[in-house]
Structure 1
């Protein structure tokens, strides 16, 4: 077996070391992610430069890269809160958020990778308790759901806006009341609905009666005007006009002039 040249062995060792260094220095940032660079001998977390974007990167082997998901994420939180009259309400909310990309280094330095547990969740719980405490169970159950959702979003956003977290939306998915309170509210709402329907029927009936009265009054007025306008002279003139037209007809007939009680013609004939 031939011996390796003296130069070959160091070359192989150097090549192996380079491969190890490259393997430890190479990092790939996935889709929807970004990297925060930590320089061991250069001041720690890099906060004054943009995060490492998607793709392949080479960093010094003694440095570290912390990878964050920077696309929109969702947290589903279930919590117990109190209404304005002290009743226990179960609230389920969905929070849409993402880290502030431009300040990802500061987020890592100040909040760490646990920023959701340390900042976001306490903020949403605090905002939900504050907002729900302003409303009664009936308002929470029916008319104020959208308003509550918007108020929780606004209050949570105020808390996290300087914490390098971008809050996109808060959705109230469910509000669960104590069964006895829920049943009482449903009965009340049903009674109110029935009352509104009854009032509507009364108003409709009153309008229909008013319509019939107006129509009857109109007919009575028309008849009175017509009766007042039909004098004996007008009736006689109309009778004469009718007699003339009948006399011009070829149908056989007998016309008796002035034989009626009022002096109007009486017409006799086969047609």
Structure 2
């Protein structure tokens, strides 16, 4: 466009000095040639637009936005038209309670009220992208700052609308996946109506009130103590069972001895022991007792 303006001025100057009475009239033709060249160069440079990868170009001429989009690469357009690049790559919008972690400075977490009236703090990341064919409509109806006009308010509103169906503890534990699927469906419908595609919704963190945290911790500690006591009781039962089996074995052994050993058996064992003593090379004295008594063995 700059070269075209210079070319127009050069042509005007060439025609202005094209008067025989002027001493510089001889420069009229060079001015016209230079002006024409500048017009051609300016027209070509203004007509060729480069669109980077991951973007599309939206063409507007005197406020009228064309539905035709420019694809990545070189494109020929009206030199008077304005081309605005729209990013169609995957984008993320993070709302977090950690300072400088999201798009907004400071605490930007989402505070919601649950079904039991408790305030829960949610950190969230939205992954989305603009549908390329919908870029002209988005530019016409919303502009280029659609993240602040659509993504942020829609996401925060839908999360608050759906959190009221869950208790705080359930939202934190058992119903977390269900809650995430529910808000994904609601936000996805709103995004599609605006020409955007929701890729993923990441519930990064759910922070419960301090009182609820303490209640949950107390419950967990009580459950751990109960499990520990069950283990101790089970161990004591096993030890009692072991002692009972041991006592039963001793009783059975004694019963076998009482019923299985006769006097003749004892005498036979006594004779065997005496024969072994007699065969021993050690000097000894064996005093035989009366029948039924064990001998007394003396050695030096």
TM-score when normalising by structure 1: 0.76
Alignment of 1:34-53 (within 5 A): 34-38=56-60, 44-47=65-68, 51-53=70-72
RMSD between superposed Cα atoms in Å: 3.5
CA distance in 2: counterparts of 1:165 and 1:203, whole angstroms: 56
The answer to whether the Cα contact below 8 Å between 2:123 and 2:204 also exists between their aligned partners in 1 is yes
The one of 93, 97, 108 equivalent to 2:124 is 93
2:51–2:70: 8 Å Cα contact kept in structure 1? Answer: no
Q: For CA contacts below 8 A with separation 6 or more, give which structure has more relative contact order.
A: 1
Specify the alignment match of 2:87 in structure 1.
Answer: 69
Higher Rg of the two aligned structures: 2
Question: Displacement of 1:90 after TM fit?
Answer: 4.2
* Gap runs ≥5 in structure 2: 1-22, 96-108
| Correspondence 1:24-43 to 2 at 5 A | 24-38=46-60
Please give the residue correspondences for 1:1-271 in structure 2 after superposition, counting only pairs within 5 Å. Answer: 7-38=29-60, 44-47=65-68, 51-53=70-72, 55-77=73-95, 78-109=109-140, 111-141=142-172, 144-175=175-206, 182-230=209-257, 231-233=260-262, 235-256=266-287, 259=289, 262-264=292-294, 266-269=296-299
Structure 2 residue matching 1:71: 3-state secondary structure? coil
Deviation (angstroms), 1:82: 2.2
Match of 2:101 in 1: none
Alpha-carbon distance in 2 for matches of 1:237, 1:159: 103
Aligned length: 261
Which stretches in structure 1 are left out of the alignment for 5+ residues? none
- Which string of whole-angstrom CA distances, capped at 9 and with x for unpartnered residues, describes residues 173-215 of structure 1? 45455xxxx2321332232123213312321221122112111
SS of residue matched to 1:8? helix
